[in-house]
Amino acid sequence: MTRIPPASRSKVTLPPAVRGLDAERLAALHRMSGAIVHDLNNLFGVILGANERLAAELGEGGDQQKHALIGLEAAERGAALLRRLLSLAQDEARELDPIDCADVLQTLRRLARQAIAPGVRVSVWTPAAPLHCAGDRVGLEMALLNLCLNAGQATSDGGSVSVRARATRLTAGEARGLGLAPGGYVAFSVQDTGKGMSAETLARATDPLFTTRPAGTGLGLSSVLDFATAAEGALLLQAREGEGATATLFVPLAQAETAAQAA
């Protein structure tokens, strides 16, 4: 079991001359990335428009329309991610509204089923009672999708990936172990029946660019950790070699539900 604390990245101090050179490169990268984001945003506009027209032209309720709508939904999430990049570049604060966890999991079910191999069973269980967490909805959806993709890639045909969400109240001791403040959280768990991880792999699983797959980028779990840190939550990884793995993402409960729990 590996507990990933909210702030586990080391800082490196560079000499003044190197810092000056890096500042110039960063400025150039900033301009270039802004242009790329702008152009990608235009392309997503084309994709969104084409999928909207395709979905409208296809038979109502048919499989073809269903797939067109899933593509439209994925493109909408991509466009939202680009808007986040633009807001970060412009130092704009994001407004964080309460997130309906059932809605998030329903979206995740559609996206994960298209991205995971057909031979792997995907089960997403929505909470029976209303459940809301605090944070960035698109960021949460992408973090959970990353966890599902990792689980699916580690699981052979005939295996399964299961996703659940539950409200939990962490005591001082439990919260301390996760590097969190005590209180109410939503725990999103993604469990697979795959090959699991060795202790050595588990210890490095969230390191940026670390991967055990030839075609992997090593950015999936790292980005989930970044989301958890920004959301004032935590990521807990549990795995044994040959016995599958469970990733649990803790996100603070919405304020209204935290107050209701305390009452």
Write down the pTM of the prediction. Answer: 0.70
Q: What is the DSSP letter of 218?
A: S
Measured CA to CA, the distance from residue 132 to residue 98 in angstroms comes to: 6
Rounded to 5°, the CA angle 120-220-94 comes to 120
- Residue 83: both structure tokens together: 């808007």
Pairing of strands 121-124, 2-4: unpaired
**CATH number 3.30.70.660 is the correct assignment for the domain at 97-262:** no
Q: Domain map of the chain by residue range?
A: 16-89, 97-262
| 37 to 13, 17, 72, 94: CA distances (angstroms) | 29, 30, 19, 18
Q: Which residues of 143-180 are buried (b: 16+ CB within 10 A; e: fewer)?
A: bbbbbbbbbbbbbeeebbbbbbbebeebeeeebeebbb
> Along the 263 residues of the chain, how does pLDDT read in single tens digits?
544 444 333 333 444 544 455 666 666 666 666 666 656 666 666 677 777 777 777 767 777 777 777 777 777 777 776 666 666 555 555 556 799 999 999 989 988 887 889 899 999 999 989 999 998 888 898 899 889 999 999 999 999 999 999 999 999 999 999 999 999 999 999 999 999 999 998 989 888 878 877 766 677 888 899 889 989 999 999 999 999 999 999 999 997 665 555 55
What are the residues facing 229 on neighbouring strands?
none
